[in-house]
Amino acid sequence: MAEIDHLVLGARTLAEGAAFIEQHLGVKPQKGGVHAGFGTHNMLLGLGRGCYLEIIAPDPGQPEPAHPRPFDLDDPGTRMMLEAEPRLLTWVARTPVLEAVVSRLGPRGGEVQEMQRGDLRWRMAFPPQRQDMDNLIPALIQWQGEGASSRIPDSHCRLVALEAEHPEAEAIRAALAERGLEAAVRIRQSPHARLVARLRRPDGAEVALSSA
């Protein structure tokens, strides 16, 4: 069984990402931390039990990492997009059986990596080749102990729905189903790939964050 763990919003800088979230959701994200060796750092916004939003950006305090930063942050197209404004990049799904899922998926499951930030520890598997299906197939995460969401104050924003649009909608459905995520995302046929997160603000208004 897998489920949505968090949304990933990319930004040129954390300051730009925080300002974007405050403008659209009316709340301030809190300080996260540094992903040592990966060249990134983050801020976080709690979306209720077991779910949060991560703002991620290149960390100017770290040297260039040996490998590309996660979530395509070093991709020229992504960089150009984030020059305009922060943007929803992808999402991450939580599973208690990461090794078993990755083993069953074979090369499509990606390589399991050990990660940590402070005393938070987790294992993660990123789909190969630019996040797979235009970033609509999520990276998988397994927390070692309590996850990040348990430590983030509740912003009283809520994720109402996560939607995926793609020319190959059936392929998206199949890929999510084999990861146990068939009920996590609403999938629609569309000429263009797009991820849309619909969130409810504390004042009840609904806001859509999109990857395109």
Q: pLDDT per residue over 36-65, tens digit each? A: 888 999 999 999 989 999 999 999 999 999
* pLDDT score of 130: 57
Q: Which CATH superfamily is domain 3-154 in?
A: 2,3-Dihydroxybiphenyl 1,2-Dioxygenase, domain 1 (3.10.180.10)
Q: Report the mean per-residue pLDDT for the chain.
A: 91
* pLDDT score of 36: 83
Say yes or no to pLDDT of 26 above 60.
yes
Name residue 108's beta-bridge partners.
Answer: none
Say yes or no to pLDDT of 32 above 60.
yes
* pLDDT score of 131: 55
Say yes or no to pLDDT of 5 above 80.
yes
Say yes or no to pLDDT of 1 above 70.
no
Q: Which two tokens stand for residue 108?
A: 């499509």
Q: pLDDT per residue over 201-210, tens digit each? A: 999 999 999 9
Q: Apex CA 170: angle with CA 164 and CA 174, to 5°?
A: 90
Q: pLDDT per residue over 139-164, tens digit each? A: 999 998 888 888 899 999 999 999 99
Going from N- to C-terminal start, the domains of the chain cover 3-154
- Residue 113's pLDDT band (cuts 50, 70, 90): confident
- Residue 129's pLDDT band (cuts 50, 70, 90): low
pTM (two decimals): 0.92
